[in-house]
Amino acid sequence: MKVDILAIGSHPDDVELACSGTIAKHIKQGARVAVVDLSKGELGTRGNAELRKEEATRSAEILGISKRVNLGLKDGYFEINEQSLNALIEQIRFFRPEIILCNSVHDRHPDHGRGGDLVSRASFLAGLRKVESKFDAELQEAWRPKAIYRYIQDRWIEPDLIVDISDEWQTKLDSIRAFSSQFYDPNSKEPESPISSKGFFDFLDGRARQFGRIINAEYGEGFNVERSPGVENLLELR
């Protein structure tokens, strides 16, 4: 299943919180996008794995994602080892993305930086012909994406590039709110988490406006690059 963009997150909702506006924008432009969640988010303060699976399905429908896969790696404990690398190599070769969006370079949650590093290493290995992986018993061909962009999450990191998501802001919010178990609910009796406070959506709004202001847009999403991107025309850059 060939896609243009493969978005990967350590937990269900990582992608929505950090880069769903970019996803919605590219889907609107005709791109095919798939999502891979590394874990089920079973250690999250609120909700549970089954509920988050249902929420992830709803969010994917809102965004128009072509396919969503959960690798079932152990939340909080997955490591960059042969097992996790091979599981991800299989998905990269299955989807054959042109670009990959993945977790932040470093962040408050240690799964985020480690998840992004796992994706970076698996993407390189997926392009080596002598690394064997199979899907439905068929040997997969080597594939390496053209670029990896690491989205910025909870902690501020100076972005290398910013995508204007002003027209996609409401879609982003709708996709995030699909994960209703994780966010503010005055009737909830579950313990509060860093993202369930009443002011968390104000933070999301402020962060997106901060990114947007840099490029003279209302809202933006920031990314870090693993290599310098190339352009044909400097006049097309903001």
Question: What is the side-by-side order of every strand in the sheet holding 67-73?
Answer: 67-73, 33-39, 5-9, 99-102, 147-151, 220-225, 161-164
The pLDDT > 90 percentage for the chain reads 91
Q: Is residue 233 a part of any domain in this protein?
A: no
Please give the model's pTM, rounded to 2 decimal places.
0.96
The pLDDT score that the predictor gives to residue 189 is 84
DSSP 130-169: TS--EETTEEPPP---SEEEEE--SS----SEEEE-GGGH
Signed CA dihedral, 214, 217, 223, 227: sign only: negative
Q: Is residue 234 a part of any domain in this protein?
A: no
Summarised one tens digit per residue, pLDDT across range 62-73 is 999 999 999 999
Summarised one tens digit per residue, pLDDT across range 81-131 is 999 999 999 999 999 999 999 999 999 999 999 999 999 999 999 999 999
| Runs of H (alpha helix) within the chain | 14-28, 49-63, 82-95, 110-126, 169-177, 200-214
The pLDDT score that the predictor gives to residue 135 is 87
Q: Are 24 and 224 within 8 A, CB to CB?
A: no
Q: Is residue 235 a part of any domain in this protein?
A: no
Q: Is residue 82 a part of any domain in this protein?
A: yes
> Nearest 5°: phi and psi at 230?
-110, 150
Summarised one tens digit per residue, pLDDT across range 14-25 is 999 999 999 999
Q: Is residue 60 a part of any domain in this protein?
A: yes
At residue 194 the predicted structure's pLDDT band, cuts being 50, 70 and 90, is: confident
Q: Is residue 149 a part of any domain in this protein?
A: yes
Total tally of structural domains belonging to the chain: 1
Q: Is residue 126 a part of any domain in this protein?
A: yes
Domain span at residue 117 reads: 5-228
Which of 211, 213, 202, 194 lies closest to 173, judged by CA? 202
The CATH number for 179's domain is 3.40.50.10320
Instruction: Give the burial class of 23: count Cβ atoms within 10 A of its Cβ; 0-12 exposed, 13-18 middle, 19 or more buried.
Output: buried
**Greatest CA span in the chain, whole angstroms?**
55
Q: Is residue 210 a part of any domain in this protein?
A: yes
Using CA atoms, how far residue 4 sits from 22, 40, 83, 208, 226, in Å, is: 13, 24, 26, 24, 18
